[in-house]
Amino acid sequence: MTLSPTSQHHHPQTSIDIINISTDFGPTTPPSASPESEQQLSTFMIEVRNRLARLETAHVEIERLKTALAESEAARQALEAQLAAATGTATSLAPKPSSSRPPPATTTTTTASASVSTTCTNATSVTPSSPGNQLSFASVVASNVDAKRKKKPAARPPPPPSVSKASATLARLFAPQSDIPYGYQFIYFATPVRRSLSELRRLVQGVVLNNSRVLDIQYPVQNVISFLVHNDYVLTVTKAMHLHGRGCSPLIDFDPCDPINLKDPKLASLSPDLRVQKAIEVKSLRSLSFVRRFVRISVAHSFLLYDRINQAQFNAILKEEMLARSSSSAAAKPRSPSSDQERLAKKQRLSYLGYLLHHDAETASLLAYAVSPTLSATEDLEMSESSDN
């Protein structure tokens, strides 16, 4: 069979290069015009039909792989939904078991379908299928949540005292007993300027005095300031004030219980005895309300020996301190009250101790705590100035 030039014109000789394709689809170039072209053409047509058959087989395999991939994707989404549901119910007390299971993936003979089926099978084995598994999963989640919670830092221990303060404390504890009588007393100094108690505390510390041994600072009158210290610390305070205060000396003839020192106009109508009682209350009882708790009983006992308070007042202070110490050691520390509540409580305690001079404990408590007194601006300032900063 001989090809005409027209046939050669419509079927030009072409060359197709296939790169990086492992599948051999046979010859793609028709035979050239030659005496043996008829036999070559029949061979070429057979190869073309074989190639078309292989293409159809590849197309069927591709469609099968697409179907397997779609089924695998559906199984993956079902597993993700079950995992999300199990995580959401992990924190509940009675988690419900999962009722739906993902459809199994179609297994194929190809490498791609086999790998997808293996992945789906492994994911299905992890999915909880019984209440026992879900409870263990919930416990694992709860333990992870507890582990992620931040732990509160432990309270730091108090810093150790300085060497000088520790040495002074040891010297007082183990030194031979002196001839100075036991007790506490007030030292009075004249001052032309009235300063805040916090500033006075800084000044006391600045002149190398132990601030913790100055138990209370008050203004009994406008231009007089008092320091409550132990008897064995009086000489130290007097020397420091004389050295750093330009020769200032304590007031020897000042009497804080003199009714003249009560400048409050509300007390002008009281009798002299009641005015003296009020002066004692303002001085001694207020000092007992503001000294540090660990020395309050000791100071109260000293005031009892010097007749600044009576036995009923001392018993009330002792009972209050013992109750406060036992409650603080047995229970957690209560929430600290506000400054207004604290001042009101101190004022009620002062009233209670003052009523004990002429009434029994039950009547004094009824008079002091039955009706809460209202703090005025003057009393509020007076109470804050008498506090131990």
Q: Spell out where the chain has E strands.
A: 184-190, 216-221, 224-230
pLDDT over 80 at 223, yes or no: yes
Lowest mean pLDDT among 214-223, 280-289, 299-308, 368-377: 368-377
The phi-psi region of residue 307 (left if phi > 0; otherwise alpha if psi is between -120 and 50; otherwise beta) is: left
Q: What is the pLDDT of residue 121?
A: 44
pLDDT over 80 at 196, yes or no: yes
Instruction: Say if CB 186 and CB 234 are below 8 A apart.
Output: no
Please count the other Cβ atoms lying within 10 Å of the Cβ belonging to residue 227: 24
Q: What is the pLDDT of residue 373?
A: 46
C-alpha of 350 from chain center: 37
Domains of the chain: 25-87+102-125 (no CATH), 178-254 (3.30.70), 258-328+338-389 (no CATH)
Grouping H, G, I as helix, E, B as strand and the rest as coil, residue 2 is coil
**pLDDT grade for 119, boundaries at 50, 70 and 90:** very low
Q: What is the pLDDT of residue 31?
A: 61
Instruction: Say if CB 210 and CB 175 are below 8 A apart.
Output: no
Q: How many residues does the chain have?
A: 389
Tens digit of pLDDT for each residue in 241-265? 888 877 788 998 888 777 777 777 7
Return the DSSP state at 36. T
Q: Which of 2-6, 33-37, 196-200 has the highest mean pLDDT?
A: 196-200
Buried b (16+ CB within 10 A) or exposed e, 14-36: eeeeeeeeeeeeeeeebbeeeee
Contacts of 358 (CB under 8 A, 6+ apart): none
Q: What angle do CA 251, 256, 257 make, to 5 degrees?
A: 145
Grouping H, G, I as helix, E, B as strand and the rest as coil, residue 237 is helix
Task: Enter the pTM of the model.
Answer: 0.47
Return the DSSP state at 32. P
- H runs (alpha helix) in 149-209: 163-174, 197-206
User: Phi and psi of 221, rounded to 5°?
Assistant: -135, 180
